[in-house]
Structure 1
Amino acid sequence: MNNDLYAFLAGFGIFLFVFLLVACILLIVTNWKIFSKAGKPGWASLIPFYNIYIMSDIAFGNLSYFIAIMISWVVSFLGGFLEISILSSLAGLASFVLYIIYCVKISKAFGKSGGFAVGLVLLPLIFFPILGLGSAEYIGPQQKENATL
Structure 2
Amino acid sequence: MNIFLLANESMYGLLCMVLVIFSIIVMWMIFEKAGQAGWKAIIPIYNMLVLLQIVGKPWWWLLLICFIPIVNIILSIWVINLLAKSFGKGVGFTIGLIILPFIFFPILAFGKASYTKPA
Same fold (TM over 0.5): yes
1:54 aligns with 2:31: no
* Worse-matched range after superposition: 132-141 or 31-40: 132-141
1:101 aligns with 2:96: no
Deviation per CA, 1:2-44: give whole Å up to 9, x if none: x7xx333222212211111111111101111111000111111
Q: What stretches of structure 2 of length at least 5 have no aligned partner?
A: none
Tell me if the contact between 1:26 and 1:129 (Cα under 8 Å) persists in the aligned partners: no
Q: In the alignment, which residue of structure 2 is the partner of 1:21?
A: 17
1:125 aligns with 2:118: no
Aligned-residue Cα RMSD (Å) equals 1.6
Count residues with an aligned counterpart.
119
Tell me if the contact between 2:65 and 2:72 (Cα under 8 Å) persists in the aligned partners: yes
Deviation per CA, 1:123-142: give whole Å up to 9, x if none: 11111111112221111122
Query: How far 1:62 sits from its partner (Å)?
Result: 3.1
Q: Distance in 2 between matches of 1:33 and 1:120?
A: 16
Q: How high is the TM-score relative to the length of structure 1?
A: 0.72
1:1-149 mapped onto 2 (5 Å cutoff): 6-59=2-55, 61-63=56-58, 66-75=59-68, 91=69, 93-142=70-119
Task: Report the identity percentage.
Answer: 34
| The structure with more radius of gyration | 1
Q: How high is the TM-score relative to the length of structure 2?
A: 0.89
Q: What residue identity is the alignment partner of 2:31?
A: F
Q: Distance in 1 between matches of 2:107 and 2:39?
A: 20
Q: What residue identity is the alignment partner of 2:71?
A: A
Tell me if the contact between 2:65 and 2:73 (Cα under 8 Å) persists in the aligned partners: no
Runs (4+) of structure 1 exceeding 6 A deviation are none
Tell me if the contact between 1:107 and 1:117 (Cα under 8 Å) persists in the aligned partners: yes
Q: Distance in 1 between matches of 2:35 and 2:116?
A: 11
Q: What residue identity is the alignment partner of 1:67?
A: W
Q: What stretches of structure 1 of length at least 5 have no aligned partner?
A: 76-90, 143-149
Q: Distance in 2 between matches of 1:12 and 1:101?
A: 37
